[in-house]
């Protein structure tokens, strides 16, 4: 949903997230926003995903975003988490997207239509990551905040 090139690079072992200042800022928001709530939540690793804040008692996954705007990709990320939980036999889980900078939350649920869409996305993702060629640059404003910015644009100036 964001950039096929980013997906391909990450899936093919060229991860840069650990060195990105933006990711570091996101981690700080996680730690500071949840410092008093950590005992209530569990970290869950399941089916290739890692959920930082799962409220087992209420069956709610909390996903915290540092962004100052609500994004469809955030919603689909959380829907995918719900899908993975469901496929692992954990039924009735819902999600809450949290935007500490905006002081907003948004409830996320998984519909039958979403399940069908996710199956299509998985097929499309598989095609991208198994492609021989690294996809072309997206070259949109999201590049400025991407951990691959230097990799994609070293020696170039974006407009």
- Residues at the site binding ligand SF4, with contacts judged by CB under 6 A: 3, 5-6, 137-138, 142-143, 146, 148-149, 152
Rounded to a whole number of angstroms, the minimum distance from the CB of residue 102 to ligand SF4 is: 23
CA 13-45-62 angle, to 5 degrees, is: 110
Q: Which is nearer to ligand SF4, 5 or 65 (CB)?
A: 5
Tokens found for residue 25: 């800022």
Could you identify the residue written with the tokens 């002081």? 103
Rounded to a whole number of angstroms, the minimum distance from the CB of residue 51 to ligand SF4 is: 25
Question: Could you please report the per-residue DSSP string of 24-70?
Answer: HHHHHHHHHHSTTTGGG-EEEEETTEEEEEEETTTTEEEEE---SS-
Q: Which is nearer to ligand SF4, 5 or 79 (CB)?
A: 5
Q: Which is nearer to ligand SF4, 15 or 47 (CB)?
A: 15
3, 104, 118, 139: CA torsion to nearest 10: -10
Q: Which is nearer to ligand SF4, 17 or 107 (CB)?
A: 17
Rounded to a whole number of angstroms, the minimum distance from the CB of residue 41 to ligand SF4 is: 30
In what helix (H) or strand (E) does residue 139 lie, and over which residues does it extend? none
Rounded to a whole number of angstroms, the minimum distance from the CB of residue 140 to ligand SF4 is: 7
């Amino acid at each position: 949903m964001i950039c096929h090139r980013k997906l391909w690079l990450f899936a093919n072992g060229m991860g840069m997230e650990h060195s990105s200042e933006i990711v570091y800022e996101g981690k700080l928001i996680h730690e500071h926003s949840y410092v008093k709530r950590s005992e209530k939540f569990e970290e869950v690793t399941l089916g290739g995903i890692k959920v930082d804040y799962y409220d087992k008692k209420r069956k709610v996954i909390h996903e915290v975003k540092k962004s100052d705007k609500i994004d469809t990709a955030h919603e689909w990320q959380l829907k995918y988490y719900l899908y993975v939980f469901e496929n692992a036999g954990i039924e009735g889980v819902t999600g809450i997207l949290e935007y500490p900078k905006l002081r907003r939350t948004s409830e996320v649920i998984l519909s039958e239509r979403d399940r069908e869409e996710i199956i299509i996305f998985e097929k499309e993702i598989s095609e991208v990551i198994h492609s021989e060629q690294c996809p072309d640059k997206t070259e949109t404003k999201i590049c400025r905040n991407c951990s691959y910015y230097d990799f994609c644009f070293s020696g170039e100036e974006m407009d």
